[in-house]
Amino acid sequence: MRLNIVRVSPRYSRSYPVFIGSGILGELGELLASHTDLEPSRCLVAFQGPVASLASKASSSLEGFCRAVDEYRLPDGEEAKSLERVLELVRYMHDHNYSRSDIVVIVGGGAASDAAGMAAALYKRGIPYINIPTTLLSMVDAAIGGKVAVNYGGVKNVLGAFYQPSAVVEDVDTLSTLPWEEVLSGLGEIVKYAYTLNAKLHRMLREHGVNVAKKPSLLADAIVEGVKSKARIVELDEREEYGVREILNFGHTFGHALEAATGIRHGIAVAWGCVVEAWAGVKLGYTPERVARELEQLVESMGFPKPGLPSFERLEALMRRDKKVRGERIRGVFTLAPGRGAVIEVMLHEYLEAIRWGASRVWGDKREQH
């Protein structure tokens, strides 16, 4: 695959292209010139240290497109996601007299797009930005859909906005140096799509398992499918108003708790979250047992590392803080069949009980089965 373009047309924002292809980072300037109406005089390339060489490739490629290209190095990892660090970037744009006809080009994973996207949303009530995700996780999820946020008061993503990018450029070649655990983390989100939204991804995973990420042409197809699924949901419910976007949270209630309690990577926790939440769906009568069994076998066979199970009291305390909790109830996300999920409001205590049953099943306490 050379170049694939998926358009995202959200309800309240301008539509934008997601370019997916091999070797397209070097053609960034041409792509933006021919497929968008952006005519910036200046481009600010914001990046995190580990992807400095990709950022400089992006900068060189932007030279014909922008009159001037500046580079701004964000702090590494989650360190970038604080209001103070975002304000430093805002100050840079202010001191260098950036205007709303200039653009921010963000090179990196989810933390970079969250932080620099937040600065772009705040500065002059919004300066356009382009996402260039460099992890599988951000290619299929965070880079699309306009969620930008920082952590505050010890709570993740508590300050933020919905502010859509003007384009997203995904060069699959940039994934070739990604650590394997980081690739697996992205595959966790692909598993999520396969059991809630995308039957084609389900077939691909059933047929090729983890090899989906090892063969470049399969990986590119999987990314295109993941992007399409994400794009359709963002179009239906850009600002999480209708309970549709919550479907993207399959695997995330248990997954977030597992991630917080053990420190494992997000998408790996999500993969196990999908398994446990599928079993919870069986217990509550929404998920056919064969679907949960198949999903569990898939995640096991793909080699997602399995952390020890933290105490359920700790996990439960974390899950009670999930954003889908509404008083005594929770908007649970369930898989009904491969490629088909649903958001169903259930009593929180019944949900937690079903999750506990699912987790004890997955972590081997077979006594708690049926």
Closest CA to 332 of 278, 275, 295: 278
d(CA 56, CA 297): 42
Residue number of the CB closest to ligand GLY reads 248
Closest CA to 40 of 70, 59, 67: 67
In whole angstroms, the minimum distance from the beta carbon of 71 to ligand GLY comes to: 27
In whole angstroms, the minimum distance from the beta carbon of 110 to ligand GLY comes to: 9
Maximum pairwise Cα distance, the chain: 67
Of 248 and 276, the one with the shorter C-beta distance to ligand GLY is 248
| 3-state DSSP assignment of residue 214 | coil
Of 109 and 145, the one with the shorter C-beta distance to ligand GLY is 145
In whole angstroms, the minimum distance from the beta carbon of 242 to ligand GLY comes to: 12
In whole angstroms, the minimum distance from the beta carbon of 257 to ligand GLY comes to: 16
Which H or E element spans position 278?
Answer: helix 266-284
Of 40 and 108, the one with the shorter C-beta distance to ligand GLY is 108
In whole angstroms, the minimum distance from the beta carbon of 248 to ligand GLY comes to: 4
In whole angstroms, the minimum distance from the beta carbon of 245 to ligand GLY comes to: 5
* DSSP string computed for 77-141: GGGG-SHHHHHHHHHHHHHTT--TTSEEEEEESHHHHHHHHHHHHHGGG---EEEEE-SHHIIII
Of 42 and 245, the one with the shorter C-beta distance to ligand GLY is 245
Of 127 and 231, the one with the shorter C-beta distance to ligand GLY is 231
Where does this chain bind ligand GLY (CB under 6 A)? Answer: 141, 145, 147, 245, 248
Torsion sign over Cα 359, 365, 367, 370 = positive
Of 104 and 248, the one with the shorter C-beta distance to ligand GLY is 248
Of 245 and 265, the one with the shorter C-beta distance to ligand GLY is 245
In whole angstroms, the minimum distance from the beta carbon of 324 to ligand GLY comes to: 12
In whole angstroms, the minimum distance from the beta carbon of 255 to ligand GLY comes to: 11
| 3-state DSSP assignment of residue 326 | strand
The first and second tokens of residue 24, run together, are 């397209």
- What letter does residue 153 receive in the DSSP assignment? T
Residue 185 CA to chain centroid, in angstroms?
10
* Cβ neighbour number for residue 317 with a 10 Å cutoff: 13
Residue 292 CA to chain centroid, in angstroms?
23
Of 141 and 170, the one with the shorter C-beta distance to ligand GLY is 141
* DSSP string computed for 218-252: HHHHHHHHHHHHHHHHHHH-TTS-SSSGGGGGTTH
